[in-house]
Structure formats: C-alpha cells, structure tokens
Structure 1
Amino acid sequence: MTRATGRSRVEVVLLDAAWVKALPGVERLVRKAARAALGVRVRSLTVALSDDRRVQALNKRDRKKDKPTNVLSYPSGEKTFLGDIVLARQTVLREARAQKKSPADHLAHLVVHGTLHLLGHDHETSDTDADRMEALERRILRKLGISDPYLEV
C-alpha cells in the first residue's frame, strides 16, 4: 500500500506477515520514520519488512557476510526514487530486547538510518562521517519523540 505526503512516497512491502503481529501499525510507523528522514525532499523509496532468512541471503550475496543483519539499504542512484530498504524482523526485535529499547523505537531508528544511507550518508568511511550521520539520526529521532539510540543502557 502506498501513501503520499506532498510528493514524497514511502511504499511498504510486507514480506513477513509476523511484523504486523509483533508491531501493530508497523506500516504507519515505517512511513512516519522514513518521511521524517526525508524531510522536505521530494523523494520516494520502498521499505521491505522481511525476516532473518531472506536478509541473511541478501547479506551473503551482496556483502559477503553469511548472517542476518538488521537493515540493508540499496540505493537506486536516481534522484527521485532513492531505492530500497530491507529489515529483518527477528534481528530487529532481538536487538531491541537486548538494548532495552521499545521495538517500535528501534525499528524507527533503523528506518531513519536506512533512509539516510539512501540519501548518501555513510558511517563506515570515516569517524567524522559516522559522527555526522549519528548526529542527524539523533535530531530526526528527537523530532519523532524517540530518545538517543546511541546512549548506553
């Protein structure tokens, strides 16, 4: 299902129906977080809510890491359609429990994080880039009423 704000569009593809049971309203949450990261930019993207098995296969194929990860971003290289984000339900929920965060807040953080990657932000190239990206994530999440995800619990 697709909903637009202005001309920004966030399409949510439910590949793992267990997301809905684990987080009622998950599609609305994903759209809200992605739009917060997009700001006033006129862009679109797709967020796939998947599971560990599928994400592990993608991570192995694309990053040569044979394990699931919380979020993968696939930039399109286009100006208006930014690309795709894929999230692994079991990993996201496991991390939220381990970090003593609400699953909704952790998911919102990962959607913001993935969206920023699609916008060209990076945290793996340098510490300076990582600091900039984390500061931006904190500002966006604060606007969503979510506390700093990088604070130690």
Structure 2
Amino acid sequence: MQVLIVNESKHSVPRKFVNEWMEDITAELKKRKVLKAAQASRELTLVFLDKKPAQKINFEFRGKDYATDVLSFDSMDPSSFGELVLCPEVLKRQAKEHKLTYQQELGYMLLHGVLHLLGYDHETNEKDAREMFGLQDAVFEKLLKKVSR
C-alpha cells in the first residue's frame, strides 16, 4: 500500500514507523485474505490534525462534538484506498490510558482505520464488534511480536 502522509498537526509523525507498520498490516491482512492484492496496491492518505480541526471534522461527519483518535473516509478515486484522519493529541492520551507507547497506540489505530475502510464496523451491533475487534487484536498482537524482535 502506498502511504501518503499529510501532517497538519504541531506534532511530529514517526514516518519510518508508519511506513513499516503499514507494510506489515498490508502483508498480514493479505495473508488472512481480508485484503485483496488490488486493494493493497492503492494509495492510503493519512492526515494528522490537532484537536480543534479533528473535533470539527468529527462533528461534521459523525455528529460527535469531540476530537477522536481516527476517522476513516472512503474515496471515490479508484486508485485510492481511502483516507484516515488521526489526532496525535488523542492518541498520546489514549496511549497512557492503555499503557502503550505512542507508536503502539498509533499502530493500533492505523489498523483500526484500515479495517473500517475494508468494511468492518464495531458500531452496528455486538456481533460485528466482536468480529472486528477479534481480527484487530489478533493482527495487532502478531505485529507487536514482530516489532519487538
């Protein structure tokens, strides 16, 4: 997957980590037959925003008046996989709450966003939530083991 990073936040983005993590996500989801080769060859845009603009977008598209960790947007462009909007401030806070590093939390939310772009949804019902989070946690654990070697 080609990754385009747009950083409009005041926080630095660990670009090397993001690119390597996305390669690992792509490989693992292809291996699990969740991601097709044609999808994996498309471009994914990652946009990093500060809290206020992230809150505005969350309100505009979801009716939720707070900054959230990740938002996913499908694309009409057939060469694009979609777009993920991430808020580093929220990710840093959640990393502390989850006892993860910032990069681990970022990796988890990148995976979460990619699964949304593949059609997984945890907000529809309990069965869909179990399916999405089961896959997400299994892939995340596998990727964490690979990174810690």
TM-score range, shorter chain: 0.7 to 0.9
Q: How does 1:35-114 map to 2 (within 5 A)?
A: 35-39=23-27, 40=30, 41-77=40-76, 79-114=78-113
In structure 2, distance between residues paired with 1:9 and 1:125: 29
* Larger helix proportion of the pair: 2
Identify unmatched segments of 5+ residues in structure 2: 31-39
Task: Please name the residue that 2:9 is paired with.
Answer: 16
Query: Does residue 19 of structure 2 align to residue 31 of structure 1?
Result: yes
Q: Is the CA contact (8 Å cut-off) linking 2:10 and 2:50 kept in structure 1? A: no
RMSD: 1.8
Task: Please name the residue that 1:142 is paired with.
Answer: 141
In structure 2, distance between residues paired with 1:116 and 1:78: 19
Query: Does residue 126 of structure 2 align to residue 127 of structure 1?
Result: yes
Deviations 1:89-147 (A, max 9, x none): 1111011112221111011000110011111111111211111111221222123226x
| CA drift at 1:74 | 0.6
Q: Is the CA contact (8 Å cut-off) linking 1:36 and 1:112 kept in structure 2? A: no
**What amino acid does structure 1 have at the position aligned with 2:120?**
H
> For this pair of structures, how many residues does the alignment match?
134
Q: Is the CA contact (8 Å cut-off) linking 1:19 and 1:49 kept in structure 2? A: no
* Secondary structure of the corresponding residue to residue 73 of structure 1: strand
Identity across matched positions, percent: 31
Q: Say if 1:35 and 1:116 are closer, same or farther in 2 by CA, change over 3 A.
A: farther
In structure 2, distance between residues paired with 1:36 and 1:133: 18
Deviations 1:3-50 (A, max 9, x none): xxxxx2011111114234xxxxx1122223333333343232101122
* Larger strand proportion of the pair: 1
> TM (normalized to structure 1)?
0.78
> TM (normalized to structure 2)?
0.80
